[in-house]
Amino acid sequence: MQLVIDSQNVSITKDKSGGYLLGTVKGTFGNVISVLEQEFPFAINSTPHIFSNYIVTKFNNCLKGRSEKEINIFGLKCSADYLFDINLFLNDSDRWSYITKKGVKQKGKYKINLTMRDIEVWRVHHNITKSVIPFDWNNVDYSKGLRIDDISSFYELFYGLLYYYAFNGMKLVKCEHCGRWFATDNFKNKYCHRNSTVEGYTHLVCEQAVRNLYQQIKRKRKVIYNSIINQEYNTKKYVEYEVIEREKETFIKKCNEYKSKLDEMATAEIITEYLTFLNSYRGEMKNGSN
């Protein structure tokens, strides 16, 4: 098996006849993690506690003579260890870069400006003895691509990818909307080029989905707000002024709570939660507008 990263795509080739296309250079890292997450969902938000439980269970099973079912992905042997390990690497906040958000310099959550030192740490910790070979062998320039021969594990696959990104000054970022990783040239890119995971918006890429969802939220919020302040007129029933004021305040307070969460990060979860709140609001229902 050979890992091949050219300037466009990443693939694992078995022999001349077959192989796996893993995706674009910028998307592959996140694609591989997504595949592992599908296979080992318990390792997604790995903490040292979950990880140690996993190791203990694995060890006990081993003693009982029950070994884990072996899975192959992209022709490579696969277990949850790889996901735990790459998450440990990515979740280490010492590795996160400083960014400026609203004029304030702060540590960017899940924004990693990879250095060759990070790659060396990954290589040594995972006992990788295979070397990356640049396409441009004469100039030892990795911008045109690289390959690793005889790869046999996800550690080596990640090594090749991380090496390429670090050498070419690319950064790793977790999409602020869908939570999947991608490589980018600039931290200004907050969203990946995959499709949104929010129901009804899956035909749009994350950035466009966020924009449309914001519009939708703004519109629904306005409709509800109007239905609160105009409820006397709408229902033709007398409502005390204080009751309307209180409802208005409660509604605005709740919306502002969501808004500050969204300002922090417009994740699919928070947007969905906010929309569910708006959609189920009695004012919205009464008004019949959706």
Question: Between 123 and 177, whose beta carbon lies closer to Zn ion?
Answer: 177
Piece of the chain touching Zn ion by CB under 5 A; list 14-22, 35-43, 169-177, 263-271 = 169-177
162 binds Zn ion (CB under 5 A): no
The half-sphere exposure of 194 on its side-chain side, counting CA atoms within 13 A, is 24
Residue carrying structure tokens 């709570």: 257
The distance of closest approach from Cβ of residue 280 to Zn ion in the complex, given in angstroms and rounded to an integer, is: 26
- Residues 83, 112, 175, 278: which binds Zn ion (CB under 5 A)? 175
The distance of closest approach from Cβ of residue 8 to Zn ion in the complex, given in angstroms and rounded to an integer, is: 20
Question: Between 121 and 205, whose beta carbon lies closer to Zn ion?
Answer: 205
Question: Between 32 and 206, whose beta carbon lies closer to Zn ion?
Answer: 206
Contact at 8 Å (CB) between 218 and 71? Answer: no
67: exposed, middle or buried (Cβ count in 10 Å: 0-12, 13-18, 19+): exposed
**Binding mask of the shown chain, residues 97 to 136, with x at each position contacting Zn ion by CB under 5 A:** ----------------------------------------
- Residues 178, 183, 266, 268: which binds Zn ion (CB under 5 A)? 178
DSSP string, 98-116: EEEETTEEEEEEEEEE--H
Where do the DSSP E strands lie in the chain? 2-6, 9-13, 19-24, 71-73, 76-78, 96-101, 104-113, 133-136, 141-148, 171-174, 181-184
Contact at 8 Å (CB) between 163 and 142? Answer: yes
Question: Between 46 and 196, whose beta carbon lies closer to Zn ion?
Answer: 196
Contact at 8 Å (CB) between 13 and 2? Answer: yes
- Local structure of residue 169 (DSSP, 8 states): T
The distance of closest approach from Cβ of residue 194 to Zn ion in the complex, given in angstroms and rounded to an integer, is: 5
DSSP string, 45-72: T--HHHHHHHHHHHHHHHHTT-PPPPEE
Question: Between 151 and 210, whose beta carbon lies closer to Zn ion?
Answer: 210
Q: 118 — phi, psi (to 5°)?
A: -55, -40
Question: Between 79 and 196, whose beta carbon lies closer to Zn ion?
Answer: 196
The span from the CA of 91 to the CA of 112, in Å, is 10
Question: Between 163 and 201, whose beta carbon lies closer to Zn ion?
Answer: 201
Question: Between 195 and 287, whose beta carbon lies closer to Zn ion?
Answer: 195
Amino acid at residue number 176: E
The token pair that represents 256 in the structure block: 């502002």
The distance of closest approach from Cβ of residue 182 to Zn ion in the complex, given in angstroms and rounded to an integer, is: 7
**Binding mask of the shown chain, residues 182 to 221, with x at each position contacting Zn ion by CB under 5 A:** ----------x-x-----------x---------------
The distance of closest approach from Cβ of residue 204 to Zn ion in the complex, given in angstroms and rounded to an integer, is: 11
Footprint of Zn ion on this chain (CB under 5 A)? Answer: 175, 177-178, 192, 194, 206
